[in-house]
Amino acid sequence: MNINGSCQCGAIEYQVSGELLATLMCYCTECHKVSAGYGTMTVLIDQNNFKLNKGTLKLWQRSSDSGNMNRAHFCGDCGNRIYHQNPDKPDIIRLKTGTLGNSADYTPQAHLWLKSAPAWVLIPKDTLTFQTQPPLANLLALIKEQ
Ligand SMILES: [Zn+2]
Ligand SMILES: [Zn+2]
């Protein structure tokens, strides 16, 4: 399965193939900034399954509260965030679903950082929720069990 994606201005085009490892919704305050809204949806994929077809991504990085580096790859023209990657664990990239061609087709398997979610957010029953965020390996294991 191939899925095409692009940034808001079209300078960046990419393709995703293979299996999606997880679909996550995050309401942390960093994601408020990234989305200029209240959170972001992300699919985790193997970095080998991401192919940049057009343009050059710009890089901005910060260290998270847990001490991990978080590298943000984005369009230098329109500023649209495409994916995040931890340089210490580069095998998995966290792609922002809003830039995918079928962006409305994703349903979160887990909701993270409810602690900073707006009070009006409604989470479907029987969905994994976390006040903050568990380590990635634990989260993937919990999603598999569902
Ligand atoms: Zn752009
Ligand atoms: Zn977040």
| 53-92 per-position pLDDT tens digit | 999 999 999 887 777 889 999 999 999 999 999 998 999 9
**Which listed ligand is nearest to 112 at the C-alpha?**
2
Rounded mean pLDDT of the chain? 95
Q: How far apart are CA 59 and CA 3, in angstroms?
A: 23
Give ∠ CA 35-43-98 in degrees, rounded to 5: 40
What is the average pLDDT across 28-45? 95
Q: Find the helix or strand (DSSP H, E) in which 16 lies.
A: strand 13-17
Identify the nearest ligand to the CA of 75 by its number: 1
Ligand 1 mean position, distance from CA 100 (Å): 13
Write down the pLDDT at residue 40. 96
Expressed in angstroms and rounded, the spacing between residue 114 Cα and the centre of ligand 1 is 30
Which ligand is closest to the CA of 26, given by its number?
A: 2
Residue 137 CB contacts under 8 Å (≥ 6 apart), including other chains: none
**Fold topology of 2-145:** 2.170.150
Q: How confident is the model at residue 18, as a pLDDT?
A: 95
